[in-house]
Amino acid sequence: MKKVLDTNTADAFASSWNNLPTGSVYTFEQFEDWFAPLKQTDIQSKSVLELGCGNGSLLTHMTQWNPSTITGVDLGDSVLSCKKNMNLTNFENFQVLQHDLTSFESDGYDLVYSIGVLHHLKKPKEGFDALIKNTKNGGRFHGWVYAKEGNKLIIYTVEPIRKIASKLPWWLTKYFIATPLAIPFYGYGKLIKTIPFLKKIKTNLPLYDYMIWIGERGFSFFRHVAFDQLVTPQTTYLSKNEILAWLGSNHSINQESTYIIFRNGNSWKFGGKKV
């Protein structure tokens, strides 16, 4: 049976990434947060692969951890902006490949990661399998996905809008849907961040931990997040039990090395080592 590629998703995100200003949309602090518990000592002098590299917003920060080589893989034309952004760094030993991440095969890397990508695939488990498949024996893998837990508000309010907005031209979605929605989103985030009293009732406030995190950012990042939610043709919110099942069912994973971390009350970081 011929494999069905996630081309619609790749094209949607390419439109997003290729119409952003040059450079990373993330701060180095955000980069470190996404990768914890991994740190520079785990990456330095190691070969690194990112599955679903977008415009290289994470790869450009990865260069500061001094890996030996960097490879980015993405199905969409966002590889064009990724190459431009990587060329602006002082890092030379990199390559950016346009390829379906779920079928990508290599001789293996010391670290393989995918941040914010697997939950947008038609079959997220295939993305997880690609992480493990491309990790060297003894190497590390790391991922971040939207959680089913903690996202009830998003699932019931944003998801119905996404199903319509994702079918529209990207500019219409960004400027006439995501931008207006980002205004109350931004206001709520700033309110949570700046009023200490609200911490006493945080269990009653939707997405409190996430708002504390994103409340430090400017309006453009709030809009980027809103647009990111709306532009994709599909989103799957993954439960802890689903990720635990992925980790536990793959016999090439060193089960003693695995971890799963609830991040900001609405997403999961997970990873481990390959046997």
Residue 4: what pLDDT? 67
Pairwise CA distance, residues 32 & 168, whole Å = 34
Phi-psi region of 192 (alpha: psi -120 to 50; beta: other; left: phi over 0): alpha
CA distances in angstroms from 51 to 115, 187, 196, 197, 205, listed in the order given = 8, 33, 39, 41, 34
Q: Candidates 3.30.565.10, 3.90.1150.10, 3.40.50.150, 1.10.1740.10; correct CATH number of 7-148+237-274?
A: 3.40.50.150
Residue ranges for the chain with pLDDT beneath 70: 1-4
Q: What is the pLDDT of residues 218-259, one digit of tens each?
A: 999 999 999 999 999 999 999 999 999 999 999 999 999 999
Pairwise CA distance, residues 211 & 189, whole Å = 5
Residue 5: what pLDDT? 77
Residue 8: what pLDDT? 86
- CB 102, CB 127: distance < 8 Å: yes
Residue 6: what pLDDT? 82
Residue 1: what pLDDT? 54
- CB 43, CB 65: distance < 8 Å: yes
Residue 3: what pLDDT? 67
For CATH 3.40.50.150, the residue range(s) in the chain are 7-148+237-274
